[in-house]
Structure 1
Amino acid sequence: MNPSPYPAPAETFSLSAPVRLWEDGFAADPHAYYATLKAQGPIGWAELAPGIPAYVVTDRRAALEVLHDPETWSHDPRPWEATVAEDSPILGMMRWRPNTLFSDGDAHIRYRRTLVDAFDLVEPHDLRERVHHAVDVLVNRFGPAGSADLVADFARPLMSLIFNNLFGLPDSESGRLEAALGKMMEGGADSAQGEAEYGSYVMGLVGAKSAQRGEDLTSWLLDHPLELTPEEVVWQVFLTLGAGHEPSANLVSNALSRILGNPAYYSTLTSGSRPVMEAVVEVLRYETPLANYGILYARESLSFHGVWVQAAVPVVVSYGALALFSEQEFAGAHHPRDASHLSWSAGEHACPVKQQALLIATESIERLTQWLPDLTATTPREDLSWRPGPFHRSLKALPVRFTPRIPDQPGDRA
């Protein structure tokens, strides 16, 4: 552990016992953990991993104050990182890297500009075709069997195919991407290995594109007028490829589980009387896929909503907790799309490519249900299992059955 000028976090708090978000029980029943945090007040006290404390913001007004005040709150984790053992299982998700997520001020603006400009070069109709192609590839694989796991057979490999295609790697590489990201996101014993495998994957990709450009996001980042260095491109791709894959896969699988858990709801989607977008926004509002990854740090220790917030300790804006209490507050109410959730974050660090993410999620579900209109869940939704980890809301499996289908049979069309 590196020496730190900051006092040990345990010496600076008088809050309740920390709520352990790293426990298996959190994945099984996050609502109970969020309720405990909420009972502590607008700012709760938790652990992201054993011995790694964090403040957790569960109040919407407090969350917006944090997200819209870059003078008080920083996204740079390096002061915190100096207090953490190098073998901590969550460093893979939280350590500083020179990219838009972990930067403030001019550096953040520069990195964000390159990402927005690169994604703007992907036309919506082109992105839609890439999604359709990926769905068709996967339905070709499992369609004839009449059964599948919509997590392992669809949502996760789907995002590997789509994002590999966008960043310039062939379909054959998608398995490596999926496996590495899965280990890193869960924050467990294999997280360091996952981080190393994913880092090697990204460096190989950027190295290949440095040698030979293509029509892909990596090449466009390398050629951007703001002239990122190859190392900076590595870290933009490291962030964006992972941030695109994991939350999007969870968004699709969470939406499908909610749809299939309600047959009446599903019938309105397949008949076209209800848009898939409603199901996707419902997940963003009430079961957000990246539940606890809005992480900031006080630039100086301060009192905030009645809690003494120490510098160099993570302050987590819990989109998962906000979603839970949003569901209670807005139940049955009509409100504009996206108005009652913060799944895209807010302020200067709000998701720069949310429209592309929404298109990927809605088009993939629509295409799948066009091919397989009689999808039926074989496990009740309340019996489904969730992957461990403090940061995400991610299903382990979503088993279904359906009438066997071969998408590329002659004359067949989605």
Structure 2
Amino acid sequence: MTTLPPAQEAFSRSAPVRLWEEGFARDPDRYYAALRAQGPVGWGELAPGVPAYIVTERQAALEVLRDTEAFSHDPRPWEDTVPDDSPVLGMMRWRPNALFADGADHVRYRTTLIDVFDDVEPHDLRARVHRAVNVLVSRFGPAGRADLVADFSRPLMALIFNNLFGLPDSQGDRLNRGLGKMMEGGDQAGEGEAEFAQYVLELIAAKAERRGDDLPSRLLDHPAGLTAEEVTWQVFLTLGAGFEPTANLVSNALSRILGNPLYYSTLTSGARPVMDAVLEVLHHETPLANYGIYYAVEPLEFHGAWIRAAVPVVVSYGALGRFAEREVTSERRPNDASHLSWGAGPHTCPVRQHTLLIVTEAIERLTQWLPDVEPVLARERLSWRPGPFHRSLTALPVRFSPRSPDQPGDPA
């Protein structure tokens, strides 16, 4: 049995910073500051009784993300230490897909995903986004009021991803509901995981029986020869990883844009691109705040902390953004290489360009439809969904001049 040095023993016994509390959603800065005060690696808790090391410093984060010898993505040793009803298991349990694999298995899974997404041409993806935006704005436009979370960003992703994965628009509510429960990690997490898993199983069964012009069919026919079970878990990953963070990136960016009238006017006039707002969110309010989860292969000392095996090591993209050395200003704009929201190393997000295209096109199309949209609430009065993994608005109420889908001047 390894004996810990006194300072490291005290660290592991200190009260963890509880990222599952409601207060974390309201004021993450306070929690990140408490973690940061412990050093580059803090002691936190993802759910009651589920401790984790939280990495809050950029250099330490890069070492975790890039060192495949010392850190693994495989959570199975950790799974043996948590109860079956843990609310974070839905997001963290092992599955045979690219997220939870290392080495040759990871390369095989990742390559198939890159290949099938590369078949989605930018002009085709742009057309899918425009169609989805048009469908949604035609629903709420005549009312002159909307919630850009419940009425726009979340159903938008359901429409786009169902379209890419070969399902009808009518299935969007099932996807939205199951993923939402699972991501929040509360009492309904297990129910949400089961609903989402059933959704994916039905989808793969349908595509195994009859192929279509969609991503699951391409995965089933890929030369890598994935089994139906492997395809199921790649789809489970890509639907989940595509839907939730992208929806949150849209709504988080819109809240920043609409909360600053001068900023909004520069966007609608074309003086400033939407991408600037999106990159600011990725820097300072990233939607997938604490989901860079690794495990030490062997116990090791790391940046002043004694890291035990089978305890999650979480790269906190949220904390990294909050403690960025350089704030973004109008003179010094962000760029997509100066933050870590996409990860780094072998597990870097393989479809970030697709994500950025979806988000920027959705926001631009919305502002073309609703050029005078304005928030109902000041940004500091908005509320955020609970959960340790994400930064996600509960609602973004807005008002605007009513728009009818057949009135003159509609976007082309």
- Partners of 1:407 and 1:413 within 8 A in 2: no
Aligned to 1:341: 339
Distance in 2 between residues matched to 1:336 and 1:25, nearest whole Å: 29
Residue 354 (1) aligns with residue 352 (2): yes
Q: How has the CA–CA distance of structure 1 residues 177 and 13 changed in structure 2, closer, same or farther, with 3 Å as cutoff?
A: farther
Aligned to 1:388: 386
How much has 1:413 moved relative to structure 2?
2.8
Aligned to 1:63: 61
Q: 2:20 aligns with which of 22, 45, 62?
A: 22
Residue 187 (1) aligns with residue 185 (2): yes
Distance in 2 between residues matched to 1:396 and 1:96, nearest whole Å: 29
Q: Deviations over 1:101-127 (max 9, x none)?
A: 000000000000000000001000000
Aligned to 1:329: 326
How much has 1:331 moved relative to structure 2?
4.4
Aligned to 2:151: 153
The alignment's C-alpha RMSD in Å is: 1.5
Q: Which secondary structure does the structure 2 equivalent of 1:242 belong to?
A: helix
Q: Which secondary structure does the structure 2 equivalent of 1:295 belong to?
A: strand
Q: 2:282 aligns with which of 281, 284, 287?
A: 284
Aligned to 1:259: 257
Give the partner amino acid of 1:101: L
- Partners of 1:54 and 1:313 within 8 A in 2: yes
How much has 1:33 moved relative to structure 2?
0.3
Residue 44 (1) aligns with residue 63 (2): no
How much has 1:409 moved relative to structure 2?
3.5
Q: Which secondary structure does the structure 1 equivalent of 2:326 belong to?
A: helix
How much has 1:406 moved relative to structure 2?
1.5
Q: Deviations over 1:277-308 (max 9, x none)?
A: 11111100110000000000000000001110
Q: How has the CA–CA distance of structure 1 residues 189 and 6 changed in structure 2, closer, same or farther, with 3 Å as cutoff?
A: farther
Aligned to 1:374: 372
Give the partner amino acid of 1:362: T
Q: Which secondary structure does the structure 2 equivalent of 1:56 belong to?
A: strand
Distance in 2 between residues matched to 1:257 and 1:363, nearest whole Å: 16
Using the TM superposition, name which of 252-261 and 328-337 deviates more. Answer: 328-337
How much has 1:330 moved relative to structure 2?
3.3
- Partners of 1:99 and 1:108 within 8 A in 2: yes
Residue 74 (1) aligns with residue 72 (2): yes
Give the partner amino acid of 1:103: A
Residue 230 (1) aligns with residue 222 (2): no
- Partners of 2:286 and 2:391 within 8 A in 1: yes
- Partners of 1:21 and 1:390 within 8 A in 2: yes
How much has 1:14 moved relative to structure 2?
2.4
Aligned to 1:213: 211
How much has 1:338 moved relative to structure 2?
1.6
**TM-score of the two chains, using structure 2 as the length reference:** 0.96
Distance in 2 between residues matched to 1:117 and 1:331, nearest whole Å: 35
Give the partner amino acid of 2:137: V
Q: Which secondary structure does the structure 2 equivalent of 1:151 belong to?
A: helix
Aligned to 1:118: 116
- Partners of 2:280 and 2:334 within 8 A in 1: no
Q: How has the CA–CA distance of structure 1 residues 411 and 255 changed in structure 2, closer, same or farther, with 3 Å as cutoff?
A: closer
How much has 1:17 moved relative to structure 2?
1.3
Q: Deviations over 1:333-374 (max 9, x none)?
A: 736612321000000000000000000000000000000000
Q: How has the CA–CA distance of structure 1 residues 373 and 114 changed in structure 2, closer, same or farther, with 3 Å as cutoff?
A: same
Aligned to 2:85: 87
Q: Which secondary structure does the structure 2 equivalent of 1:99 belong to?
A: coil
Give the partner amino acid of 2:181: K
Distance in 2 between residues matched to 1:120 and 1:33, nearest whole Å: 39
- Partners of 1:371 and 1:407 within 8 A in 2: no
Aligned to 1:100: 98
Q: Which secondary structure does the structure 1 equivalent of 2:367 belong to?
A: helix
How much has 1:412 moved relative to structure 2?
3.0
Q: Which secondary structure does the structure 1 equivalent of 2:199 belong to?
A: helix
Distance in 2 between residues matched to 1:401 and 1:13, nearest whole Å: 54
Distance in 2 between residues matched to 1:336 and 1:271, nearest whole Å: 20
- Partners of 1:260 and 1:376 within 8 A in 2: yes
Using the TM superposition, name which of 252-261 and 12-21 deviates more. Answer: 12-21
Give the partner amino acid of 1:166: L
> Which structure 2 residue ranges, 5 or more long, are not aligned?
none
Q: How has the CA–CA distance of structure 1 residues 240 and 373 changed in structure 2, closer, same or farther, with 3 Å as cutoff?
A: same
> Which structure 1 residue ranges, 5 or more long, are not aligned?
none
Distance in 2 between residues matched to 1:371 and 1:335, nearest whole Å: 27
Q: Deviations over 1:70-115 (max 9, x none)?
A: 0100000000001010010100000000000000000000000000
Give the partner amino acid of 1:214: G
**TM-score of the two chains, using structure 1 as the length reference:** 0.96
Q: State the number of aligned residues.
A: 405
Q: Which secondary structure does the structure 2 equivalent of 1:329 belong to?
A: coil
Q: 2:272 aligns with which of 270, 274, 279?
A: 274
Distance in 1 between residues matched to 2:135 and 2:62, nearest whole Å: 41
How much has 1:6 moved relative to structure 2?
11
Distance in 2 between residues matched to 1:102 and 1:376, nearest whole Å: 42
Q: Deviations over 1:204-233 (max 9, x none)?
A: 000000111111101000000001000000
Distance in 1 between residues matched to 2:334 and 2:148, nearest whole Å: 30
How much has 1:21 moved relative to structure 2?
0.1
Aligned to 1:305: 303
Q: Deviations over 1:11-42 (max 9, x none)?
A: x9421310000000000000110001000000
- Partners of 1:319 and 1:343 within 8 A in 2: yes
